[in-house]
Chain A
Amino acid sequence: MKPLIALTDVSRTYQAGPALCGVSLTVQPGEFVAVMGPSGSGKSTLLNLIAGLDRPSGGTVVVDGVDLATLGEAALARFRRRRVGFVFQFFNLLGSLTVAGNIGIPAQLAGVKPRIAAQRVQKLLDQLDLVGVADQFPARLSGGERQRVAVARALVNRPALLLADEPTGALDSRAGDQVMELLAGLHRGGQTIVLVTHDAKLAATAADRVVTLRDGRVLDDAPLATASGQSASALLRIHGPQREATP
């Protein structure tokens, strides 16, 4: 299968120093990859390079068959709008637009016909359980609802790739769980997702592969087996196997 993302020996150096050093990474269509690491490990830099929001100092970034270095600024912006969806920690919704309006913006910017765009918005409102708040403004919504709107907005142009940067970072644990369940559902539907997080539980629970970054390098790239069917005692012993001492 042709990889959806292929990074080859990618480096990014800022004035303060190197943020990424020689990172190579491929992601196949349909994968859910979590990129984990402490702050300063380079994970957001990596995400920005994959998204075409930033350009590498060295190496190549190929996304959906396109070498991003071959694109000028305008072409790169078009590429981002059409092929990549973003979800951020802070939802970045426009306060002056309704939920439906926010979801529709990227379609409008990408020049999708209004009738088609409206259909897609309606479908996403249904799919993400947002029909009831379609005409509300973001200020009236809970954090979890805002993030669902942000996910819907990220999906409206049917991107090949969904990028999520600490999507539960500003949510309480219940709303966070719901957003992660939403991402897991999209993944089951075939959506390729790259999730950046410092939260091991989030990474391991949702993703089928965990890439650990440290100091701008890939420390480990671990495939995870689907959790299913294991007996409780194979996972967890409340008491160790040794015999109890005589009471």
Chain B
Amino acid sequence: MSVKYGILGLLAQQPLHGYEVKTRFESLFGGTWEVNFGQVYTTLQRLERDGLVEPADGRGDRAKLTYRLTGAGRAALERWLAQPEAEPQQLREEIHLKLLLTGRLANGNLPGLLAGQRRVYLQRLKDLAALERRARQDGRGDLVLVIKSAMLHTEADLKWVDVCEDELGEHGDNADSPKGGPGSEAAHRID
């Protein structure tokens, strides 16, 4: 996701100066996305360079400069909003790397890794549920929807741990040639 379009979306509602962009950006996400002022500032400069935003009232004190969307900026925002998301699936969590490496190490403890991960996901579900309740109390129905996305992803993560454990249970005897390792890939190709 992109700070760029976040800023364009905020400026589409009304002209703002840099600091207002930062605080509104963070409040839009209910504090789940913290941006630093430098990031907002350099993004605004690039957007201005590309003709997507412009100063609302001439050039003055840089810190107080108010920006507004240009026609090109609005068009870019609308194009972006109209596109469904088809980015590659992102598995950013390091657990995937840990899983691949643990299966290849002589003293690797895959069951232990998975058990620890299950606890993290269970606790995360509990914490997200509390966050959802708070968002609801604050009247942030839109944020509730975002948090529900996070909860469903966490439920999927838990199912994934189950699947890993099932696979390990079935293939547990040959722990030194993990399923999906180089050897089994070669075997699959010969098949």
Binding site for B on A (CB under 8 A): 38, 200-201, 203-205, 210, 212, 214-215, 219-220, 222, 224-225, 227-228, 230-233, 235-240, 243-244, 246-247
Interface string of B140-156 (1 = CB under 8 A from A): 00000011001100010
The count of residues in chain B whose C-beta lies closer than 8 Å to any C-beta of chain A is 40
Interface string of B105-136 (1 = CB under 8 A from A): 00000000001001101111111111100000
Chain A at the B interface: mostly helix, strand, loop or mixed?
Answer: loop
Contact partners of A240 in chain B: CB under 8 A: 92
Partner among A210, A215, A227, A247 whose Cβ is within 8 Å of the Cβ of B129: A227
CB distance from B29 to the nearest CB of A (A): 5
CB distance from A139 to the nearest CB of B (A): 33
Interface pair B33/A200, CB less than 8 Å apart:
no
- Bound CA–CA A191/B3 (angstroms): 48
- Bound CA–CA A238/B33 (angstroms): 6
Among residues of B, the one whose C-beta sits closest to the C-beta of A230 is B127
6 further A-B pairs in the complex, CB-CB below 8 A; given A230-B131, A247-B47: A200-B159, A214-B165, A231-B31, A232-B31, A238-B33, A244-B39
| A-facing residues in B1-46 (Cβ within 8 Å) | 1-4, 29-34, 39, 43, 46
CB distance from A207 to the nearest CB of B (A): 8
Among residues of B, the one whose C-beta sits closest to the C-beta of A235 is B127
- Bound CA–CA A203/B129 (angstroms): 11
Query: Can you sample 22 A-B contacts with CB below 8 Å?
Result: A204-B122, A204-B125, A205-B126, A222-B119, A222-B122, A224-B122, A227-B129, A230-B127, A233-B32, A235-B32, A236-B131, A238-B32, A238-B33, A238-B146, A239-B33, A240-B92, A244-B2, A244-B3, A244-B39, A247-B2, A247-B4, A247-B50
